[in-house]
Amino acid sequence: MTTLAASHRGTMILVALAAATVVAVGMGMISSILVPVLLTLVLTICAHPVRVALERWGFPHGLATGSVVLVVFLFLAGFVVALVIAFTQFVGMLPQYAGQLADLGSKIGEWLGKLGIGQDQIQALLKGIDPNSIVDFATGLFGGLFNVTTSLIVVLTMLILMAADAMYVPTILRQLLGTHQELVVSLAAYASNVRRYMVVTTMLGIVQGALNTVALVIMGVPAAVLWGLLAFLCSFIPNVGYFLAIIPPIVFGFFVGGWPTVIGVIITYAVINGVVQSIIQPKVVGNAVALSQSLTFLSVLFWAVVFGPMGAILAIPLTLLARAILVDSDPDARKWRPAIGDIAEARRLIMQDDAAAKAVRRARRRAREAGASLEAQPSEDRASTG
């Protein structure tokens, strides 16, 4: 019977993994549609309290919804314009460093040759340091962002429709509360958590990018605005975003200022990003994310494979949505929350275990003390006691 149950459980796990693979491949095939929709969903969730506040202040529903849509659209449009200008400047100044890139490539090739790496592998690597290859790589890196942000018509349309439909969401959730209470609670918690995470990360990312840009300008690093925008985008990518953001300014800082500039860039990024992402952000966001570091890193890799660069940026909101639907809304599956990173729940279980362990230790200590006192009695007293 046990073998049959284990076999059934193994079959269910394999079927679930196969279904997840099919769903992931399918989402990747229609990523051009899903990515703008998911981005709009996150933006609508973040902007919803503003619309509610405007309506509470007496603004008509249409005017409140239109105001929020306009603000979000202007933010996206301004970001696209800044990104295009910075990227154009980067492409224009890149040929100036062609010789230095070639020298850097030759030095890397010599170092790799000393390590015993074959010439074919070295040549394949050195092709990536060519200015044209760097432009192609940067275009591919920002291509996913351009595909979304340049499709502002689709985003704007979805934003208007979702913002208009959002006014009916509370009524729908109240109707579902009686029959699907766990689902309603999990979706409400998801909206609150993802709103807190995205708003805080956006504000801190703007500060972080601005400070990095100012520091790079002072140090004379080329394309400082582009690297500041890159730092802003990478602030949404946990674990690996910092390393993606710091590599370009290190390389071009070395070209213009040598090792002193490189050390200055490293120290500046370490201080700014360390304070923002390691001290300020966790305190403000709190337990809104509640994902383990391993799962967070895995989610970045997974969504980046499925949706490209925008998948890495939206990795946390998408993972929280999957958790809300698959785990939080199912009472039987909620026992897995501590395993996937719910610190508060894990701490509560640990405290329960500690309390139980302390109770057991107290009981054992009293038993030992009782046994010791019984052994200390004279033999006639023990006999009379017996």
Q: What is the 3-state secondary structure (H, E, C) of 37-94?
A: HHHHHHHHHHHHHHHHHHHHCCCCHHHHHHHHHHHHHHHHHHHHHHHHHHHHHHHHHH
**Rounded to an integer, what distance in angstroms lies between the CA atom of residue 24 and that of residue 309?**
16
**Rounded to an integer, what distance in angstroms lies between the CA atom of residue 163 and that of residue 60?**
14
User: Which pLDDT score is estimated for 355?
Assistant: 53
Low-confidence ranges of the chain (pLDDT < 70): 1-8, 97-98, 101-102, 104-152, 286-288, 333-364, 366-386
For residue range 77-86, list pLDDT tens digits in order.
Answer: 777 777 777 7
pTM: 0.73
Cβ contacts of 93 within 8 Å, gap of 6 or more: 222, 223
Return the residue matching tokens 């890799």. 301
Q: State which amino acid sits at residue 181.
A: Q
* Alpha-carbon Rg for the chain in angstroms: 28
For residue range 34-66, list pLDDT tens digits in order.
Answer: 888 888 888 888 888 887 788 888 888 778 888
CA angle at residue 223 from 222 to 229, to 5 degrees? 140
User: Which pLDDT score is estimated for 256?
Assistant: 85
Whether residue 146 contacts residue 34, with contact meaning beta carbons closer than 8 Å, is answered with no
Nearest residue to 161 via CA among 37, 254, 74: 37
Half-sphere CA count of 371, side-chain side, radius 13 A? 6
For residue range 285-334, list pLDDT tens digits in order.
Answer: 766 677 777 888 888 899 988 988 888 888 999 998 888 888 877 777 66
Supply 182's token pair: 């766990």
Nearest residue to 70 via CA among 57, 85, 51: 51
Whether residue 231 contacts residue 209, with contact meaning beta carbons closer than 8 Å, is answered with yes
DSSP state, residue 237: S
DSSP state, residue 151: -
Nearest residue to 285 via CA among 171, 196, 175: 196
Measured distance between the N- and C-terminal CA atoms of the chain, rounded to whole angstroms: 50
User: Which pLDDT score is estimated for 216?
Assistant: 93
User: Which pLDDT score is estimated for 264?
Assistant: 92
User: Which pLDDT score is estimated for 211?
Assistant: 93
Q: How many CB atoms lie within 10 A of CB 86?
A: 20
Whether residue 122 contacts residue 7, with contact meaning beta carbons closer than 8 Å, is answered with no
